[in-house]
Amino acid sequence: QVQLVESGGGLVQAGASLRLSCAASGRTFSSYAVGWFRQAPGKEREFVATITGSGRGTYYTASVRGRFTISRDNAKNTAYLQMNSLKPEDTAVYYCAADSAPPGRIPTTQAQYEFWGQGTQVTVSS
Protein backbone atom coordinates (compact mmCIF):
# COMPACT_ATOMS: atom_id res chain seq x y z
CA GLN A 1 0.00 0.00 0.00
CA VAL A 2 1.29 3.45 -0.91
CA GLN A 3 -0.17 6.77 0.13
CA LEU A 4 0.64 9.83 -1.94
CA VAL A 5 0.36 13.50 -1.02
CA GLU A 6 0.91 16.26 -3.56
CA SER A 7 1.98 19.80 -2.74
CA GLY A 8 3.40 22.87 -4.44
CA GLY A 9 0.47 24.01 -6.52
CA GLY A 10 -0.63 27.62 -6.70
CA LEU A 11 -1.56 30.62 -8.82
CA VAL A 12 1.15 31.99 -11.09
CA GLN A 13 1.43 34.15 -14.17
CA ALA A 14 2.23 32.79 -17.60
CA GLY A 15 5.94 32.19 -18.00
CA ALA A 16 6.51 31.42 -14.33
CA SER A 17 7.70 28.19 -12.77
CA LEU A 18 6.37 25.85 -10.11
CA ARG A 19 7.69 22.66 -8.58
CA LEU A 20 5.20 20.06 -7.48
CA SER A 21 6.11 17.43 -4.92
CA CYS A 22 4.63 13.99 -4.37
CA ALA A 23 5.46 12.54 -0.97
CA ALA A 24 4.94 8.81 -0.58
CA SER A 25 4.57 6.57 2.42
CA GLY A 26 6.10 3.13 2.62
CA ARG A 27 9.57 1.64 2.48
CA THR A 28 9.53 0.38 -1.10
CA PHE A 29 9.08 3.66 -2.96
CA SER A 30 11.89 2.82 -5.36
CA SER A 31 9.94 -0.17 -6.67
CA TYR A 32 7.17 2.07 -8.01
CA ALA A 33 7.05 4.08 -11.17
CA VAL A 34 5.55 7.50 -10.50
CA GLY A 35 3.43 9.42 -12.91
CA TRP A 36 1.90 12.86 -13.03
CA PHE A 37 -1.51 13.43 -14.55
CA ARG A 38 -3.67 16.53 -14.79
CA GLN A 39 -7.33 17.34 -15.19
CA ALA A 40 -8.53 20.67 -16.48
CA PRO A 41 -12.11 21.85 -15.88
CA GLY A 42 -14.50 20.06 -18.19
CA LYS A 43 -11.82 17.77 -19.56
CA GLU A 44 -10.70 14.24 -18.92
CA ARG A 45 -7.64 13.47 -16.85
CA GLU A 46 -4.56 13.26 -19.04
CA PHE A 47 -1.06 11.89 -18.73
CA VAL A 48 1.75 14.41 -18.18
CA ALA A 49 4.96 12.58 -17.29
CA THR A 50 6.31 9.42 -15.71
CA ILE A 51 9.54 8.19 -14.18
CA THR A 52 10.73 4.66 -13.52
CA GLY A 53 11.47 3.41 -10.02
CA SER A 54 15.21 3.87 -10.48
CA GLY A 55 14.76 7.32 -11.96
CA ARG A 56 16.71 6.40 -15.08
CA GLY A 57 13.70 6.35 -17.40
CA THR A 58 11.32 9.23 -18.07
CA TYR A 59 8.63 10.03 -20.60
CA TYR A 60 6.56 13.14 -21.26
CA THR A 61 3.48 14.04 -23.17
CA ALA A 62 4.35 16.20 -26.16
CA SER A 63 2.74 19.38 -24.86
CA VAL A 64 5.08 19.60 -21.85
CA ARG A 65 8.27 18.14 -23.29
CA GLY A 66 11.10 20.63 -22.90
CA ARG A 67 9.21 22.65 -20.25
CA PHE A 68 8.53 20.11 -17.51
CA THR A 69 11.00 17.81 -15.79
CA ILE A 70 10.06 14.82 -13.66
CA SER A 71 12.50 13.56 -11.06
CA ARG A 72 12.58 11.62 -7.82
CA ASP A 73 14.59 11.23 -4.65
CA ASN A 74 14.07 7.70 -3.40
CA ALA A 75 15.90 8.44 -0.15
CA LYS A 76 13.20 11.01 0.62
CA ASN A 77 10.31 8.97 -0.83
CA THR A 78 9.44 11.96 -2.98
CA ALA A 79 8.88 12.63 -6.66
CA TYR A 80 8.86 16.06 -8.27
CA LEU A 81 7.50 17.81 -11.31
CA GLN A 82 9.41 20.96 -12.20
CA MET A 83 7.23 23.09 -14.45
CA ASN A 84 8.82 25.97 -16.33
CA SER A 85 7.45 28.42 -18.89
CA LEU A 86 3.93 27.75 -17.66
CA LYS A 87 1.03 28.53 -19.97
CA PRO A 88 -2.65 29.18 -19.20
CA GLU A 89 -3.46 25.83 -20.82
CA ASP A 90 -1.43 24.13 -18.08
CA THR A 91 -4.13 25.12 -15.60
CA ALA A 92 -5.47 21.95 -14.00
CA VAL A 93 -5.53 19.81 -10.91
CA TYR A 94 -2.32 17.80 -10.93
CA TYR A 95 -2.25 14.28 -9.53
CA CYS A 96 0.63 11.97 -8.82
CA ALA A 97 0.20 8.22 -9.05
CA ALA A 98 2.28 5.13 -8.33
CA ASP A 99 2.52 1.87 -10.26
CA SER A 100 4.32 -1.26 -9.07
CA ALA A 101 5.70 -1.67 -12.56
CA PRO A 102 8.38 -4.17 -13.51
CA PRO A 103 11.79 -2.50 -13.68
CA GLY A 104 12.06 -0.39 -16.80
CA ARG A 105 8.39 -0.27 -17.63
CA ILE A 106 7.17 3.25 -18.32
CA PRO A 107 3.42 3.37 -17.66
CA THR A 108 1.51 6.14 -19.40
CA THR A 109 -2.14 5.22 -18.91
CA GLN A 110 -4.30 5.82 -15.84
CA ALA A 111 -5.31 2.17 -15.70
CA GLN A 112 -1.70 1.14 -15.06
CA TYR A 113 -1.47 3.12 -11.83
CA GLU A 114 -2.64 1.56 -8.60
CA PHE A 115 -2.32 4.43 -6.13
CA TRP A 116 -3.33 8.07 -6.45
CA GLY A 117 -2.95 11.28 -4.51
CA GLN A 118 -5.70 13.81 -3.93
CA GLY A 119 -4.33 16.40 -6.31
CA THR A 120 -3.01 19.95 -6.16
CA GLN A 121 -4.40 22.91 -8.10
CA VAL A 122 -2.21 24.77 -10.56
CA THR A 123 -3.63 27.95 -12.05
CA VAL A 124 -1.74 29.93 -14.68
CA SER A 125 -3.06 33.39 -15.50
CA SER A 126 -2.42 35.13 -18.79
DSSP symbols for 45-83 = -EEEEEE-TTS--EEE-TTTBTTEEEEEEGGGTEEEEEE
Q: Is the pLDDT of residue 104 over 80?
A: no
> What is the Cα–Cα distance from 15 to 88, expressed in whole angstroms?
9
The region, left, alpha or beta by phi > 0 then psi within -120 to 50, assigned to residue 16 is: beta
Q: Determine what percent of the chain is predicted with pLDDT higher than 70.
A: 100
Task: Give the per-residue pLDDT at 123.
Answer: 98
In which band, very low, low, confident or very high, does the pLDDT at 26 lie, cut at 50, 70 and 90?
confident
101: confidence class by pLDDT, cuts 50, 70, 90: confident
Report yes or no: 68 and 84 within 8 Å, Cβ to Cβ: yes
The pLDDT value given to residue 27 = 73
Whole-number Å distance between alpha carbons of 88 and 83: 13
